[in-house]
Structure 1
């Protein structure tokens, strides 16, 4: 019943910041997915008889790989697999299931915000027992194993009916097909004041939640329409589709433009939100006000005590290094810890487990807290509605009052996608060579105060992560940051982050790109971006 299959290694299975991501035609090569899954199991120990959680975002090839993973888990000696009905589990819901049922770990099948379809993206990542992404020591071990693997083990049994709830036997291992939504919705009811949000919506505040043809559709329908009483139709694009209905399920001003335009129209909704492919990202927009993810983190932290789950206050805030310093000013005023980490949610795990941080965020539309060990899109949406209900104010009022109290961090990210990999690496290498000579140089009115390649020293386990992004800091608090993204599947994505702090409320009404124009020009000059990449403008501006 258990068979051993001879295989040969692939040399391109190095996990990035969120697991292994490749195009579907790559993953569908002979034994490609099996090799990686077996390498995960070969890199772990102590899981005999334990529980493994498996689920994904419903994208193309999701069901096929789940069947492989279940059969291989049985062959590896797991005692039980919990899998979402239809193969569906949002990434934060998977994290919650791992934690709630004390599973050994989980396999999450997703390429997050990347497109789906027969020629588009697919991904596999392993989450550890705290519900969070595997740390680098585990992903490094998995990669090392993929380079030498010569066989995998799999149960030779028929496929399981993933659409039928209940418990089943697969080669002596129990497989429980669970409702993917119930446990997550219950957790949200514990954290937020659903009664106050119901009153807000019943009072005439109209919301639009765009699930972008992706995984949060069933979660959003259950929570916003059924439990909170939003009118039917408030949740859009709610059926998870293998190709996300043609959407690029990335909740930003480019790919969620229809939602943005609707909220900004005279007769549109008062509040809009979108989530991504696997449900861990969010975009928040109110009438007349787009909320940057950096500001969203700061405002959630500043108002955290309005939500029942955070009524006793928060221990600290953590943000990725490229995320704006808006949250730093909140932490300073609250007298709590502030932690700056590399990009990648796994870096927050130690801080959350140690009780040093409660709320975390990244500028790439990710926010979350210690309730799970992943970022959580619908959690952020519910937090905003809870804040609106408690303060009885609109999104625009909440944001402008926050700026008046803390100052405004003008902030933008310019993405140059699918750049030639060699050109992108050469650009970063040239920047690193310039670091020592930049301090003291002036570019117009901007004078460089410091420049470095960010390194993170984990205050919990003492580990060091180097080369996490080139920073150029200017006098007065402005900065530009350059880094290569680890979430794409083809070419390289160069991300340029631009930030200016403005304490004067009289200057808070400037359009963001105009407020940052001189910094953007200097960033291009220092990096020689146009010359080295041939790009005249970014692919995406957020």
Structure 2
């Protein structure tokens, strides 16, 4: 029997870049989860009898919210729910399942790379039938509904056994608990030459993958150790834990420092990689070399034809605006269109669906292709392994050859985290107001030749996204971008992106910090970072 429960709105259920993210204690408020899930269902249209995909990264509160969502899906008329065993489902795997089984959409429970645990973060986002994140018109409708919601629907039934594969009935709706790994692993075998990678590994090639006690552990154990033959122990921190083992599951040099130490040590493996909380980001390392996400996108685009699933070439390349312009040079050399979008994978989905792009990437360690509609950490790792297996060169040699051909975009992102929101917003507002007067200004030896605030006219759905980051272009091709992030759960995060291009005949082996030092100083002066925030240095540099 369907129960209609009276409720009242919460004022803070506006989805951000990747769904609704808040502290666990916020989601634990009575009716908070129910209000948001019902708001999602209320704006979706006719899904009666159709399939909903459900799962998450295993963080604290994952199981409880899954049970709530199952009951509400039954009450609202879904015909079937596909849920990952143990409530586990990586974001790219969820996208694949939505697409493979023709689901109406999916609820993905994750706060991505944010920390987990009773005092940390949780999140819910809705993905549409193409497997990608809901576009802004849907997330805005969800928010508007959440502001006036007065009831939610549920059923009073026992919890579903999430720890055994099989089918269960919930108030007339079928719940199928599925293996979260099998469908994804089969897709990867269709895209990459597993035989070549197995031969590479059997020949003594050593790799190390840090799953950061997050969702990719089971996937990496199956793919890297079982199917590709890497020895046991190749995957470290491979058991998903509700608090990620007390660590921050963000694959960068700060939070994956153990992997960095391993890859820069005397007994370093040939290849190192990591992924994040929900499995959609990647970190790529060779022996004594860190490949920035921007450089990784460019190198993968230049070599993707070596993987069987992409032997036909690319339809186009897409990158988020703050991502370095290294991929632009590959696109130009290959005669391909380069699409520059706002941050957020949902913007790539339209391009992929329209056949305008094949590979996409963001500087925040997200790379993917048209195989799903999400960025995909293990996909990027397997593509790198496929390239290494074919070229039989080291990561360092591949990057040196890439820079010798295309030049090098020295690049870094400086994150100022946990800022007081009012101060951060004032900084950006002041910067925005100064944009018209900045061209022609000189800061030290740098002269600004162009300044604007990025806006995006989607070539597919014709939507307009404004205020996506302030861009400053300097003589010689250097660039600084300022942007407030939409992925945090408390305070504000200012991201400053710094980039300088060096041609193929220039210095390709400089220290990145030294190459960007004058840009760092100019960015601080122009935006008044210390003046507005009191911070003299960023919290994280990637």
TM range (shorter): over 0.9
Q: 1:450 aligned to 2:450?
A: yes
Measured against aligned partners, the alpha-carbon deviations of 1:25-76 in whole angstroms (never above 9, x if no partner) come to 0000000000000000001102111000000000000000000000000000
Aligned partners of 1:525, 1:113: CA distance in 2, in Å? 30
**8 Å contact 1:469–1:481 — kept in the other structure?**
yes
Aligned partners of 1:35, 1:169: CA distance in 2, in Å? 24
Residue segments in structure 1 that go unaligned for 5+ positions in a row: none
Give the superposition deviation at 1:506. Answer: 4.4
Match of 1:235 in 2: 235
Give the superposition deviation at 1:268. Answer: 2.1
Q: How many residues align?
A: 542
Aligned partners of 1:526, 1:216: CA distance in 2, in Å? 41
Match of 1:488 in 2: 488
Instruction: Give the aligned CA root-mean-square deviation in angstroms.
Output: 0.6
**8 Å contact 2:282–2:377 — kept in the other structure?**
yes
Q: 1:187 aligned to 2:161?
A: no
Give the superposition deviation at 1:505. Answer: 4.2
Report the more deviating stretch, 482-491 or 438-447. Answer: 438-447
Aligned partners of 1:75, 1:332: CA distance in 2, in Å? 52
Give the superposition deviation at 1:504. Answer: 4.0
**8 Å contact 1:107–1:125 — kept in the other structure?**
yes
Measured against aligned partners, the alpha-carbon deviations of 1:496-533 in whole angstroms (never above 9, x if no partner) come to 00000000444111110100000110000000000100
**8 Å contact 2:406–2:504 — kept in the other structure?**
no
Give the superposition deviation at 1:359. Answer: 0.1
Match of 2:161 in 1: 161
Give the superposition deviation at 1:288. Answer: 1.6
**8 Å contact 2:405–2:504 — kept in the other structure?**
no
Aligned partners of 1:442, 1:6: CA distance in 2, in Å? 61
Match of 1:213 in 2: 213
**8 Å contact 1:24–1:122 — kept in the other structure?**
yes
Give the superposition deviation at 1:155. Answer: 1.1
Give the superposition deviation at 1:2. Answer: 1.3
Match of 1:41 in 2: 41
**8 Å contact 1:128–1:134 — kept in the other structure?**
yes
Residue segments in structure 2 that go unaligned for 5+ positions in a row: none
**8 Å contact 2:293–2:365 — kept in the other structure?**
yes
Aligned partners of 1:228, 1:468: CA distance in 2, in Å? 41
Counterpart of 1:303 in 2: which secondary structure?
A: helix
Aligned partners of 2:17, 2:253: CA distance in 1, in Å? 23
Q: What are the within-5 Å matches in structure 2 for residues 26-175 of structure 1?
A: 26-175=26-175
Aligned partners of 2:64, 2:526: CA distance in 1, in Å? 47
Counterpart of 1:508 in 2: which secondary structure?
A: coil
Q: What are the within-5 Å matches in structure 2 for residues 4-19 of structure 1?
A: 4-19=4-19
Match of 2:297 in 1: 297
The two structures have a TM-score, normalised by structure 2, of 1.00
Measured against aligned partners, the alpha-carbon deviations of 1:96-145 in whole angstroms (never above 9, x if no partner) come to 00000010000000000000000100000000000000000000000000
Match of 2:321 in 1: 321
Aligned partners of 2:504, 2:385: CA distance in 1, in Å? 28
Match of 1:441 in 2: 441
**8 Å contact 2:131–2:374 — kept in the other structure?**
yes
**8 Å contact 1:403–1:505 — kept in the other structure?**
no
**8 Å contact 2:249–2:276 — kept in the other structure?**
yes
Aligned partners of 1:525, 1:270: CA distance in 2, in Å? 41
Match of 1:285 in 2: 285
Give the superposition deviation at 1:444. Answer: 2.0
**8 Å contact 2:7–2:152 — kept in the other structure?**
yes
Counterpart of 2:538 in 1: which secondary structure?
A: coil
**8 Å contact 2:208–2:236 — kept in the other structure?**
yes
Aligned partners of 1:405, 1:134: CA distance in 2, in Å? 38
Aligned partners of 2:205, 2:474: CA distance in 1, in Å? 42
Aligned partners of 2:331, 2:77: CA distance in 1, in Å? 46
Aligned partners of 1:76, 1:313: CA distance in 2, in Å? 44
Match of 2:204 in 1: 204
Q: What are the within-5 Å matches in structure 2 for residues 336-375 of structure 1?
A: 336-375=336-375
Aligned partners of 2:310, 2:369: CA distance in 1, in Å? 10
Counterpart of 1:361 in 2: which secondary structure?
A: strand
Measured against aligned partners, the alpha-carbon deviations of 1:209-260 in whole angstroms (never above 9, x if no partner) come to 0000000000000000000000000000000000001110000010001101
